Amino acid sequence: MNGSRVFLQDLVENLNSAHLDSNIDIFVSPPSVYIDHVRQNLRKDVAVGAQNCFWNTSGAYTGEISAEMLKDADVEYVILGHTERRTLFKETDSDIGLKVAHALQTGLKVIACIGETLNERESNITMEVLFRQLQAIAHHIQDWSHVVIAYEPVWAIGTGRVATPAQAQEVHAAIRQRLEATVGADVAGSTRIIYGGSVNLGNAADLAKELDIDGLFVGGASLKPEFVDICNVLLHHSATAAPETAGGK
């Protein structure tokens, strides 16, 4: 929940004038009231996503936005299960699974987020938590080609703390192994798993070098001109840079 029309236009113009390699998939997810403005003004090789959507097409759900509305606004992606939706707005694994199912059925691509709290990590139940969250999402997925998994350690969101590349790689590898065991080697090998948690220009290159980190999910740093530099860090890694322009991460 950041920005204004003028502020976001500056970010759009920065991206429009930047050299961005065509091998990198980039998307931005502005607040919903600015989605149309960003899509109308942003270069077409950068996708536009939403930060959330509901699991029904229409109805008496005041304040919610449907996947169909997002498609009508030429949105390609939607972020679902973000740690702030889970912790601040009490969305359950079941809620997120329903949202993922409906968004995919509507034709949106999904950034499905999973992550553990500091207490869960210190209690040595990180994998138990992540696998539970992953299963609630996987249960609803038939076509994994439109799904990106975003690992967001809650303890590294907006705190300035960041998982070391080795810590992030360990978790990403475990998630990939879990996918292989539950939905098959083809899905595990082709599904992008991106890292989000206080990503900035200072740590982006080291994170991107890890074998199982397929891209970066950028929060607060995507509100700065350095976001272009973070994208270009990935030029040699064939990764997906996925900025979240309004996450406060």
From 68, 91, 120, 152, the catalytic residue: 152
Is it the case that residue 159 has pLDDT exceeding 90?
no
| Beta-carbon contacts of residue 45 (< 8 Å; ≥ 6 apart) | 20, 22, 26
Q: Which residue has the higher pLDDT, 105 or 232?
A: 105
**Distance between CA 162 and CA 157 in Å, rounded?**
8
pLDDT of residue 246: 27
pLDDT of residue 248: 26
| Beta-carbon contacts of residue 229 (< 8 Å; ≥ 6 apart) | 201
pLDDT of residue 245: 31
Cα angle: 207, vertex 184, 154; to 5 degrees: 35
Query: Rounded mean pLDDT of 205-229?
Result: 93
* Straight-line distance from the first to the last Cα atom of the chain, in angstroms, rounded to the nearest whole number: 11
Domains and CATH numbers, the chain: 5-243 (3.20.20.70)
- Asked if residue 179 lies in contact with residue 191, where contact means CB atoms within 8 angstroms, the answer is yes
pLDDT of residue 237: 59
pLDDT of residue 239: 44
Q: Which residue has the higher pLDDT, 147 or 24?
A: 147
pLDDT band at 23 (very low <50, low <70, confident <90, very high): confident
- Long-range contacts: 62-67, Cβ < 8 Å, 24+? 65/32, 66/106, 67/102, 67/103, 67/105, 67/106, 67/108
pTM given for the model: 0.93
Tell me, yes or no, if 152 is annotated catalytic. yes
Is it the case that residue 247 has pLDDT exceeding 60?
no
Query: Rounded mean pLDDT of 137-145?
Result: 95
